[in-house]
Amino acid sequence: MSYIQVENLMKEYGKGEAAFMAAKGMSFEIEQGEFVAIVGESGSGKSTLLSMMGALNTPTKGRYVVDDMDIYSLSLDQRAKFRMAFLGFIFQSFHLIPYLTVKENVMLPLAIAKIKNREKSDMAGDALMHVGLSGKEDRLPSEISGGEQERVAIARAVVNNPTILLADEPTGNLDTRTSREIISLFHALNGEGITIVMVTHNAEFSREAHRTLCVSDGLIREQERLQKVVEYPFGFQTGVEQYPAENVAAQ
């Protein structure tokens, strides 16, 4: 059975004559360790799909299963545990807090984690080292470049050791050279075992993935296999090992 299963997901906004179907029955599967790009025009349903995969936007119909867990059958508290244990998020806008340092921004997802502050600091330092930002922990976001801000956002996304990274237009605000550096970093994270789902408008970068899903008018219109998924030895401790599925589903 695939690690991620999206089964006939639908999302309707509004009611009556104002109702609009942003997702009209999307179905696909993703293997653990796969790098998948989702492409499509603005308004096609890409971001709606990603928000449902992030357990942030309850579908009107359909099932979303990760590691044998039916996510939308979980309680809100269990979904929060799922996000903490399994997911990392990267957005087109970096969403860094301007008055917090680089390291403090990276530590934010750990705020409710039941671990000591020293351990949180160490985890943030490790994540920053992972993205090549050692030595810039105490700078403010305004004191680093746009590409470095994106790396901070990536470090924040992986600080909780997720198994799945959801990225919505991660290179949308970056120049071509910096964008390529970010895609190379995604390859490195994917090589360490993280499953990546990336929404992008950039055709060149979409072809860096193992597979592309083309979204149009709220449906998956086409799937294209680009590369073979390679089994890597996990050099990165993932959330599955730290937070098994039975812990998420526990009351």
Residue among 54, 74, 67 at smallest CA distance from 2:
67
Average pLDDT (133-142) is 95
- The neighbour count for residue 109, using CB atoms within 10 Å, is 23
Residue among 32, 17, 156 at smallest CA distance from 100:
156
- CATH classification at residue 187: 3.40.50.300
Q: What is the pLDDT of residue 232?
A: 41
Distances in Å between the Cα of 67 and the Cα atoms of 111, 132, 240 are: 25, 31, 9
Joined together, the tokens standing for residue 198 give: 């990336």
- The neighbour count for residue 160, using CB atoms within 10 Å, is 20
Condensed to tens digits (0 to 9), the pLDDT of residues 102-127 reads 999 999 999 878 889 899 999 999 99
Condensed to tens digits (0 to 9), the pLDDT of residues 61-76 reads 999 999 999 999 999 9
Q: What is the pLDDT of residue 246?
A: 56
Instruction: Tell me the three state secondary structure of residue 235.
Output: coil
Distance, CA of 14 to CA of 35 (rounded, Å): 33
Distance, CA of 56 to CA of 214 (rounded, Å): 22
Residues 6 or more apart in contact with residue 203 via CB below 8 angstroms? 39
Query: Containing domain of residue 189, as a range?
Result: 4-249
With helix as H, strand as E and coil as C, how does 53-115 read? HCCCCCCCEEEEEECCEEHHHCCHHHHHHHHHHHEEEECCCCCCCCCCCHHHHHHHHHCCCCC
Condensed to tens digits (0 to 9), the pLDDT of residues 21-64 reads 999 999 999 999 999 999 988 888 999 999 999 999 999 999 99
Greater pLDDT, 213 or 42: 213
pLDDT, the chain, mean: 88
How many domains does the structure of the chain reveal?
1
pTM for this predicted structure: 0.86
Condensed to tens digits (0 to 9), the pLDDT of residues 216-239 reads 999 998 777 766 554 443 333 333
Q: What is the pLDDT of residue 100?
A: 97
Q: What is the pLDDT of residue 105?
A: 96
